[in-house]
Structure 1
Amino acid sequence: MDSYLLLKWVHVLSSTVLFGTGLGTAFHGWMATRSGDLRAMAVSGRNVVLADWLFTTPAVIVQPVTGVLLARQAGFGWDTPWLLLSIALYGLVGACWLPVVWLQIRMRHLAEGAVASGEALPALYHRYARIWFALGWPAFIGVVVIFWLMIAKPALL
């Protein structure tokens, strides 16, 4: 396999891991929160944070590295509109993801604390959950648009 195809395979695979893990952890975390079951929220919180460290973080690093190398090998200039939009959307997705990671860690701590103490979940958990949910939408839509841009490479201007 030549280097371009290998890079393309790694890029597509890591984008799939990034999207799939994000969608899967969002579903798992949201459904646990909706259940109201403190133990489920604590377990889900641990798993969501772990999945971000094991899968999302490496994919977040691999994506721009392979993307830059692919663009260079394919001869795309940095002024290519679809590429610029992809990079801007990747920045937007990252700007949503970083606070989401912090929120997930805080939500995990709050759920684990409530389970350990036998007390009710603090209202702060639900506030964090609403923000977490709201930040997920622009990130999700951004990744979907990036997938389309990667595949279609449209002439935007």
Structure 2
Amino acid sequence: MSLYLLLKTLHILSSTLLFGTGLGSAYYALRAWRSGNLQAISVTFRHLVTADWLFIATTAVFQPLSGLALAKLAGWPLNQLWLLWSVGLYLFAGLCWLPVLWLQIRVRDMAAQALRDDTPLPEQAQRYMRLWFALGWPAFLAFIVIFWLMVAKPL
């Protein structure tokens, strides 16, 4: 296998892990939140934050590095519009994810504290979850467009 094909395979697997972990995390976080079960929220968000650090953060670093290496190996000029749009959308999604990660950490901590104190979640957790949800959609849609750009290379 050539270096290009190996790197392309790793790039695809990494993007799958990044997108799949994000989508799965969002699903389970939303299900736990909507259950209203404080124990479920606490456990889910504890694991969610860990998964974000283990899988999303690592693949988020690998993606642009492997993408740049692929472009270089393929001889693609870095000023192609599909590449520029992909990078821009990737940065946009990352700018959505960073506050989402902070919100998840805060909700995790609030849920753990509420469990320890045997109190309900503070109203601030509800506000954080609304913002979490609002930031998730644009990032999700950005990744859909990025996948399309990577496959079609239209511009």
TM-based fold match above 0.5? yes
Aligned to 1:34: 34
How large is the Cα RMSD of the aligned pairs?
0.6
Aligned to 1:117: 117
Aligned to 1:97: 97
What TM-score comes out, normalization by structure 1 length? 0.97
Unmatched 5+ stretches in structure 1: none
Cα distance in 2 for residues equivalent to 1:24 and 1:47? 12
Cα distance in 2 for residues equivalent to 1:144 and 1:127? 27
Cα distance in 1 for residues equivalent to 2:2 and 2:152? 22
Aligned to 1:154: 154
Alpha-carbon distance, 1:114 to partner: 0.6
AA paired with 1:83?
L
Runs of 4+ in 1 over 6 A off after TM superposition: none
Alpha-carbon distance, 1:23 to partner: 0.2
Aligned to 1:127: 127
SS in structure 2 at match of 1:89: helix
Aligned to 1:25: 25
Deviations 1:29-79 (A, max 9, x none): 011011100000000110110100111111001100000000111111121
Whether 2:101 is the aligned partner of 1:106: answer no
Cα distance in 2 for residues equivalent to 1:10 and 1:34? 35
Unmatched 5+ stretches in structure 2: none
Alpha-carbon distance, 1:143 to partner: 0.6
Alpha-carbon distance, 1:125 to partner: 0.5
SS in structure 1 at match of 2:7: helix
Structural mapping, 1:55-66, within 5 Å: 55-66=55-66
Cα distance in 2 for residues equivalent to 1:16 and 1:54? 14
SS in structure 2 at match of 1:130: helix
Cα distance in 2 for residues equivalent to 1:146 and 1:70? 15
Identical positions, percent:
54
Aligned to 1:52: 52
SS in structure 1 at match of 2:154: coil
SS in structure 1 at match of 2:33: helix
Aligned to 1:5: 5
